Homo-oligomer: A and B are copies of this chain.
Amino acid sequence: MTVTLADVAARAQVSPATVSRVLNGKYPVAASTRERVLKAVDELDYVLNGPASALAAATSDLVGILVHDIADPFFGILASAIQSEIGGSGGRAGGERLAVVCNTGGSPERELTHLTLLQRQRAAAVVLTGGAVEDAPHAAAVSTKLRKLTDAGTRVVLCGRPPAPGTGAIALDFDNRGGARQLTGHLIALGHRRLGCIAGPRERTTTRHRLEGHREALAAAGLEDDPHLTVHGHYDRRSGYEATVELLRRAPDLTAIVAANDTVALGACAALRESGLRIPEDVSVAGFDDLPFGIDAVPPLTTVRLPLAEAGARAGRIATGREEPPPGGITTLRGELMVRGSTAVPRR
C-alpha cells in the first residue's frame, strides 16, 4: 500500500538505484532520466523512507541540540540560529536536516540520556549549549559519551560551553570571564565600591567564570571581595528577586548589583522597586547576555551582549560541515559591554 522506491522505479522504468541517485542528488544522472523519475515521484506522491535510508547509509539527517530549557530565550535564540544554518543543501535527500531539541534542565543525567538517544538515532551531529556542570564524575561520563559520538562520526559542537579535551568536540565558548570583568569594571569606574553579586548555581562553569571575572575587576581596583556580597541562585527571575532581598538585608549600603543574567536582573529590579529604591539613582543594576527584553526594562538594562545568534549560526554550520572548525577546535567569542540606563554613578 505504501509507495516505495521500487514502485517509483517501475513507473519511471529505471532501476531502484537510479531513483535513489536522483533523490539524493550528488550523482551523475541523465537529465531526461531524472525528469522521468521526478515525474513518477510526483505522480505516485512518493515520500522517501527516512529510517530505511538512514539504516542503509548508516547516518541520519538529524542534528541534536541540547539546551537547558527551550522556553528560555537564551536557548531559544541559540537553537533558532543553529536551525537556520543546518537546513538547506549539502546532505542527502535534498540535504534537509532536522533539529532534535532536547531539554536537559542542565542536569547531567538527562544530558547523558539524551546523548544516548541521539546516538541511537545515529544523529549526524550534536550541539551542546549552555554551561557545563563541574562535577568530576559527571564531566567524565559526558566526555566519554562525546568521545563515542565523535568516534562514530557524529560531529559534536559545544556552543557557549567550555572545551571538552580529548573528546574531539569543537568548542565555541563565550568569554564569560572577560565580560563579567568589563561589567564590574564599568560599575567601579562609575564610583561604586559596595557591589552586590547575584551568581548562578555553584557547580556550573558559567557561574564560576562570571564570578571570576567579577572578582578580577574588584581585585584590579583594590577592592575587597566581601563574601557577604555574593549570593548564589538559579538563572531565573525569582532567584534574582530573592537574592536581592537577601543582599539588601545583609548590606543596605550597597549601591550596585550585578546579576547572573538578564532574567535574574529583572527579578532584582522588581525587588528593589518594592523596597522603594530607585534604579539607578539608589542602586545600579546590571545583567548579562543581552536578551531582547532588556532594552524594554525601565530603565533599560546595562548588560553584556553575548553573540548568541552568531555563535548558534556558526555552530550550525560547523555541525553540518559547512564551515571549517576553528584552529585547534576551540575558539572564544567575546561579549560586548552594553551601557544603558540601569547603571549610573552611586548616590551621594
Segment with Cβ contacts to B, from A28-36, A116-124, A224-232 = A116-124
With both beta carbons as reference points, the residue of chain B lying nearest to A103 in the complex is identified as B83
Chain A residues 67 to 103 lying within 8 A of chain B, measured CB to CB, are 69-73, 75-77, 79-81, 83-84, 93, 96, 98-103
Q: What is the copy number of this chain in the assembly? A: 2
A277 at the interface (CB under 8 A from B): no
A84 to B81, CA, bound (A): 22
Cβ of A63 to closest chain B Cβ, rounded Å: 10
Q: In the complex the two chains form, what is the Cα distance from A77 to B70 in whole Å?
A: 7
Contact with B along A36-66 (1 / 0, CB 8 A): 0000000001011111111100001010000
Instruction: A276 to B53: give the CA distance in the assembly, Å.
Output: 62
**Bound-state Cα–Cα, A55 to B101, Å:** 22
A76 touches B71 (CB 8 A): yes
- Among the listed B51, B52, B101, which residue makes an inter-chain contact with A70, where contact means beta carbons less than 8 Å apart? B101
Per-position 1/0 for A269-306, Cβ under 8 A of B: 11000000000000000000000110011100000000
| In the complex with contacts A55-B52, A70-B80, A100-B100 CB distance below 8 A | yes
On chain B, the residues within 8 Å of A120 by CB distance are 47-50, 93
Given contacts A49-B55, A117-B98, A119-B47, contact A71 B60 (CB under 8 A): no
Chain B residue with minimal CB distance to A80?
B71
Which listed residue (B71, B98, B266, B298) contacts A102, Cβ 8 A? B98
B62 touches A100 (CB 8 A): yes
Supposing A49-B120, A55-B52, A297-B298 touch, asked if A70 and B62 sit within 8 A by C-beta, the answer is no
Q: How far is the CA of A50 from the CA of B148 in the complex (A)?
A: 16
| Across-interface contacts of A102 in B (CB, < 8 A) | 83, 98-99
Contact with B along A107-142 (1 / 0, CB 8 A): 000000100111111100000000000000000000
A-B contacts, 26 of them at CB < 8 A, read A47-B119, A50-B51, A50-B60, A50-B121, A51-B52, A51-B53, A51-B54, A54-B54, A62-B100, A70-B70, A70-B79, A70-B80, A71-B76, A80-B103, A83-B101, A83-B103, A93-B120, A98-B100, A99-B101, A100-B101, A101-B101, A237-B292, A269-B296, A270-B296, A293-B293, A298-B298
Binding site for B on A (CB under 8 A): 2, 45, 47-55, 60, 62, 69-73, 75-77, 79-81, 83-84, 93, 96, 98-103, 113, 116-122, 148, 152, 237, 266, 269-270, 292-293, 296-298
Please list the 7 inter-chain residue pairs (A to B) with the smallest Cβ-Cβ separation, ordered nearest first: A51-B54, A298-B298, A71-B80, A293-B293, A76-B76, A50-B121, A51-B55
Beyond A100-B100, A237-B292, 16 extra complex contacts between A and B, CB < 8 Å? A47-B120, A49-B55, A49-B120, A50-B51, A51-B51, A51-B122, A54-B54, A55-B55, A69-B80, A70-B70, A70-B80, A93-B120, A98-B100, A100-B101, A101-B101, A297-B297
